[in-house]
Amino acid sequence: MVTLGCNKNRVDTETALGLLTERGWEITEDFSEAEVLMVNTCGFIEAAKTESIDTIFELAEYKRTGKCRALVVSGCLAQRYEQALMDEIPEIDLLFGVNQYQGLPDAIDRVLRSGNRERHMDDPERFFEHGRVLTTPAYSAYVRIGEGCSNRCTFCAIPLIRGPYRSRSREAILAEIKELAERGVTEHILVAQDTTRYGTDWQKHSALPELLSDAADIPGVRWLRVLYCYPDETDERLLDLLAERENICSYLDLPIQHISGRILRRMARRGGPEDIRRCVRQARERGLTLRTSIIVGFPGETEAEFEELLDFLREARFDRLGAFTYSPEENTPAAAFPDQVSEEIKAERLDRLMRLQAELSLARNRERVGTEETVLITDTDGRRQALGRSQREAPESDGEIRLTAQTPVKPGEYVRARIISASTYDLKGVVLP
């Protein structure tokens, strides 16, 4: 099984694998030996769609060169482009949308018996609870606390694909974290399209702080990390928890996309420049690590507004930053805006922004030299060299800490280390005795 896109997709994959292994299927890492090949696709932006299509065709080759008897395509691209995929890629035997996985084992059985093609695109708004096969290292897991999105940003197709936002039940989330902790997971990463919207289904303001506090009380939870917090619902209750609770990571992931008030309004983003500046100020006052994401070249973005964004980045000094150029998505309002920015200007602005962020990232990393931090070991050569990350590095998106140890360490172990040098995105340290 191949998973593309975000870590919410990874949770879907793990649920599907849980269902299939329960039915008796065996997972193989050898594509040529697999009787069923499955790709869980992403449809967020054009580059992700291209990667998904390329992967489907790569897997289809194993029908000719391997033992593949069924090619299954699921996820966001399948949900959004059902008819086109079935019409244009006859190699696809089974098409599954999002949140449909409870029917997957039976559908695979039918396809293998009959040789007929099937598609399953029911209501994407349901929640389905089932045990998962973790595809992350044994000590770390993602926990989804919500599904869908109701923000309706003008550039984003997620609400069209996954439906409106709905919170997962508190009881189900805490039960899953408890079960994962009992299995040896020590790092639990809470994800949703907008985690700070959690609980607004049943109360006025975010219930994320209460959920975090309850989850942090579960025995065995060493690190609790939360991603995708929106500025307007990131209040002092949440910031205080991130700063004060020892096992809640002091890390705020705040995707702002821009700082220009006019651009934010055109994006239909919740919250404006004042919310963003408040969050950054309050997070810095509490010593939190700050991560953000930026869209460059949104329709109508002027050179002055881009310079305003660069000025704000110099002011905010985000520790981590991801950026991408605006991609017009079908059936989204921004795709129809008349003042699209050229690809050349978008690429040039992205380059300028990332060169600035490289300078800021290096400066922020150098400020850590000489400090002592708790580091989770993620890889090792079995002797003295290891890789790890602290509370200030989220998996898959941030840098690493390269460590030297006097005695062997192993993945999943937490050690104290002193940072001895810094590069643009990574650090070096020594494990303390």
Task: Output the tens digit of pLDDT for each of the chain's 433 residues.
Answer: 999 989 999 999 999 999 999 999 999 999 999 999 999 999 878 888 999 999 999 999 999 999 999 999 999 999 999 999 999 999 999 999 887 888 899 999 999 999 999 998 876 556 778 889 999 999 999 999 999 999 899 999 999 888 899 999 999 999 999 999 999 999 999 999 999 999 999 998 999 999 999 999 999 999 999 999 999 999 999 999 999 999 999 999 999 999 999 999 999 998 899 999 999 999 999 999 999 999 999 999 999 999 999 999 999 999 999 999 999 998 999 999 999 999 999 999 999 999 999 999 999 999 999 999 999 999 998 889 999 999 999 999 999 999 999 999 999 999 999 999 999 999 999 999 9
Alpha helical stretches, state H, 188-326: 208-216, 236-244, 261-267, 273-285, 303-316
Query: Domains plus CATH for the chain?
Result: 2-120 (3.40.50.12160), 140-366 (3.80.30.20), 372-431 (2.40.50.140)
- At residue 400, φ and ψ (nearest 5 deg) are -130, 165
pLDDT value for 43: 84
Tokens 């643009």, residue located: 424
Burial 348-373 (b: 16+ CB within 10 A, else e): ebbeebeeebeebbeebbeebeeeeb
The whole-number pLDDT of residue 99 equals 78
**Residue 217, exposed/middle/buried by CB under 10 A (0-12, 13-18, 19+)?**
exposed
Q: What is the pLDDT of residue 382?
A: 80
| Tokens of residue 45, six digits | 């932006």
Structure tokens at 74: 């699921």
Instruction: State pTM to two decimals.
Output: 0.94
Phi, psi of 245 (to 5 degrees): -80, 125
Q: How far is residue 269's CA from residue 231's CA, in Å, rounded to a whole number?
A: 10
pLDDT of residue 124: 54
